[in-house]
Amino acid sequence: MTSKIYKFSSALIGAGRIGFQHEYDEKRIKPASHYGMLIGNKKINFKAICDTNSNNLELIKKNNKNINLYESYKEMIIKEKPDIVSIATWRDTHYEIMDYCSDNGVKAIICEKPISENLKDAKKIVSKLKNLNIPLFINHRRRFDSELIKLKTNNITHYVGEILQVNCFYVYGLLTTGTHLIDTLIYLLENTEGEIKSVLGFSNTSNSFCPTDDPNIDFILFFSSGLKVFVQSLDMKSYDIFEFNFFGKKGKLSLKNIGRDIEQFNIINSPEHKGFTELNFNPKKKLGGKPRNQFGTLINNVIETLNGKSISYSNGDDSIKVMKIIEAIKFSTLKNKKINL
Ligand SMILES: NC(=O)c1ccc[n+]([C@@H]2O[C@H](COP(=O)([O-])OP(=O)(O)OC[C@H]3O[C@@H](n4cnc5c(N)ncnc54)[C@H](O)[C@@H]3O)[C@@H](O)[C@H]2O)c1
């Protein structure tokens, strides 16, 4: 006897790169887009897609004749009445689209990062969604990465002992990509290092390939434990990078490349100086290596939450914390002084 699977209806708004096109990047693990995440799930009835760009809709039509296509998300929400809406549009549209969804019967919202353009809008929409009991899932995708979930559960101190210093690198805009980095730092460090208490920002104009309205900023985060995390921005035109180095009393843990490769380094006797120790050049253990199915974990988290068996791994309050820090870093850079949160 087979038990019936209840399906949640869903719709996608925004069928650009992360919304749709990445599904056809042969190098990426699948699902690689919101489209792939929704089309491939047996518990989802994926009904409709909206994009203001009709060329994107034409591309979808070639791949899938069974999905309803719209140029207006408002019309789509009213006609299709989806339970779950996935938003993969430009960041300056996230707030108004979430607001409309919340007024029109949507039961769960998945939204691309950053949650909004500014802290004020983030606070407004998070409060509204909480009051309406609508769970929110912001795609700060490292929170849906099985290897990072393990690091979080064990704490970084499990791998390196007491943390002494942390440095990190990112590219392409404080709000656009820095949001991932700050969120990941909070996620991995809050259990042992507490909250971020203050920030200090420095503009980086030397290698500033970034969105026109979102500069690369270097910064220091001061945690309540006394830990300082140094973050530097690099040039995405040269190479992509999203890297973390956690230096502890018992070794070092690195998240390398775009966070995919995780290496643990132990301490060895120096081959060169008697009585001295060094970090091993070769990792003692490699923890990552292959890309993880983050979109799969995200949609399972949504379904489990709607079934009352889980809560959002990346909720509105998590994103508000990030937005507060981003605004403080911008202000610190402008005023050229350390800012307390
Ligand atoms: N989580 C991640 O790792 C990750 C990676 C890439 C991009 N993103 C985020 O995803 C979002 C989209 O980025 P992208 O690179 O896919 O951009 P994109 O330009 O390739 O796609 C955005 C699409 O949204 C459509 N759109 C814009 N406003 C709309 C509206 N009001 N109604 C319907 N459609 C609308 C556009 O026509 C476009 O097709 C951004 O917020 C970006 O920061 C996240």
The predicted pLDDT at position 183 comes to 98
The separation between CA 33 and the C-alpha centre of its own chain, rounded to angstroms, equals 14
Query: CB pairs under 8 A, 24+ apart, for 287-292?
Result: 287/147, 287/150, 287/151, 287/262, 287/263, 288/147, 288/255, 288/260, 288/261, 288/262, 289/260, 289/261, 289/262, 290/29, 290/260, 291/28, 291/29, 291/260, 292/29, 292/145, 292/146, 292/147
The predicted pLDDT at position 40 comes to 83
Before 283, cis peptide (omega within 30)? no
**What are the DSSP calls for 61-75, one per residue?**
HHH-SSSEEES-HHH
Distance from the alpha carbon of residue 216 to the mean position of ligand 1, in angstroms: 20
Two structure tokens written together for 170: 């990112």
**CATH code at position 264:** 3.30.360.10
Distance from the alpha carbon of residue 16 to the mean position of ligand 1, in angstroms: 6
Query: Within 6 Å (CB) of ligand 1, which residues are found?
Result: 13-19, 50-53, 56, 73, 88-91, 93, 112-113, 139, 141, 176
When computed from its CA atoms, the radius of gyration of the chain, rounded to whole angstroms, is: 21
The predicted pLDDT at position 63 comes to 87
Atom 27 of ligand 1: nearest residue by CA position:
89
At which of 134, 164, 189 does a domain end? 134
Residues 167 and 282 in one domain: yes
Residues 65 and 98 in one domain: yes
The predicted pLDDT at position 216 comes to 96
Residues 219 and 87 in one domain: no
Residues 124 and 177 in one domain: no
Phi, psi (5° rounding) for residue 270? -65, 130
At which of 134, 168, 188 does a domain end? 134
Q: Is residue 270 part of a domain?
A: yes
Residues 242 and 178 in one domain: yes
Phi, psi (5° rounding) for residue 301? -65, -40
Q: Is residue 208 part of a domain?
A: yes
Q: Please give the number of the atom of ligand 1 that sits closest to the Cα of 71.
A: 33
Residues 152 and 234 in one domain: yes
Distance from the alpha carbon of residue 201 to the mean position of ligand 1, in angstroms: 27
Residue-by-residue pLDDT tens, the chain, 341 positions: 555 566 999 999 999 999 999 999 999 999 999 999 999 899 999 999 999 999 999 999 998 899 999 999 999 999 999 999 999 999 999 999 999 999 999 999 999 999 999 999 999 999 999 999 999 999 999 999 999 999 999 999 999 999 999 999 999 999 999 999 999 999 999 999 999 999 999 999 887 799 999 999 999 999 999 999 999 999 999 999 999 999 999 999 999 989 999 999 999 999 999 999 999 999 999 998 889 999 999 999 999 999 999 999 999 999 999 999 999 999 999 999 999 99
Pocket test for ligand 1, best of 53, 89, 298 (most atoms within 8 A of CB): 89
**What are the DSSP calls for 173-228, one per residue?**
-TTTTHHHHHHHHHHHHHHHH--EEEEEEEE--TT--S-TTS--EEEEEEETTS-E
The predicted pLDDT at position 2 comes to 53
**CATH code at position 32:** 3.40.50.720
The predicted pLDDT at position 143 comes to 98
Residues 174 and 223 in one domain: yes
Distance from the alpha carbon of residue 269 to the mean position of ligand 1, in angstroms: 50
The predicted pLDDT at position 288 comes to 81
Cα–Cα separations (whole angstroms), residue 215 to 5, 174, 196, 235: 47, 6, 22, 12
Distance from the alpha carbon of residue 267 to the mean position of ligand 1, in angstroms: 44
Q: Is residue 306 part of a domain?
A: no
Q: Is residue 297 part of a domain?
A: no
The predicted pLDDT at position 289 comes to 80
Atom 31 of ligand 1: nearest residue by CA position:
93
Q: Is residue 200 part of a domain?
A: yes
Q: Is residue 307 part of a domain?
A: no
Residues 221 and 201 in one domain: yes
Q: Is residue 98 part of a domain?
A: yes
The predicted pLDDT at position 208 comes to 76
User: Structurally, how many domains does the chain consist of?
Assistant: 2
Residues 100 and 184 in one domain: no
Q: Is residue 164 part of a domain?
A: yes
Distance from the alpha carbon of residue 282 to the mean position of ligand 1, in angstroms: 39
Residues 262 and 283 in one domain: yes
Residues 93 and 149 in one domain: no
At which of 134, 157, 191 does a domain end? 134
Beta-strand relationship, 84-87 and 277-279: unpaired
Domain that holds residue 60: 8-134
Residues 148 and 258 in one domain: yes
Beta-strand relationship, 136-138 and 228-234: unpaired
